Amino acid sequence: MDCIKVHDKTFVPFIDNAQISKAIDKVAEQINHDYANCDSAPILVCVLNGSVVFTGELMQRLNFPCELTCLRIKSYEGTQSTGVTKQVLGLNRDITGKQIIVIEDIVDTGHTIEFLHNTLLSLGASDVKICTLLLKPEVYDRDIKLDYVAMEIPNRFILGFGLDYDELGRNSKDIYVLQD
């Protein structure tokens, strides 16, 4: 893995694709166990745009019937969270009485997760579980339980494997961290 330049920033190798794949295998195993005897197909809610790569990889490892829908949320500008969560593109279906698994690329402060969790319950979901590829535990400050966490990372700005810097860098199969 070589360094990459995106816009005006240089990013250095951080997590290679083999490590990411192993972490997704582990999370899928946990989810498969929890939903093995599920009576109805849960709905996976892919949080666009960042989690599309993770959602695709995770879905291929799930061995129970599930549905998929997408929701677009935005809380970042540049390399910083704005602290304000904006729903950009809403759900395209009724979720009343449905079990939901929210699929996120990264959880840092938890503002977005809290917003999603509360919104989905208010729309009638019977249960909302949270699955994230990455968690920054040192800055997570919400009471919402994270049910499935593939990897914990320090509070650094990263890109790749779906994560971006001003919309670029998502297509890297590895994850990079902003060079100090």
Active site residues: 108
Tell me the two tokens of residue 151: 């990897």
Distance CA 98, CA 150 (A): 24
Distance CA 43, CA 66 (A): 6
Tell me the two tokens of residue 110: 């938890």
Cα dist. 50→2, 34, 126, 143 in Å? 22, 25, 25, 23
Cβ pair 150, 15 in contact under 8 A: no
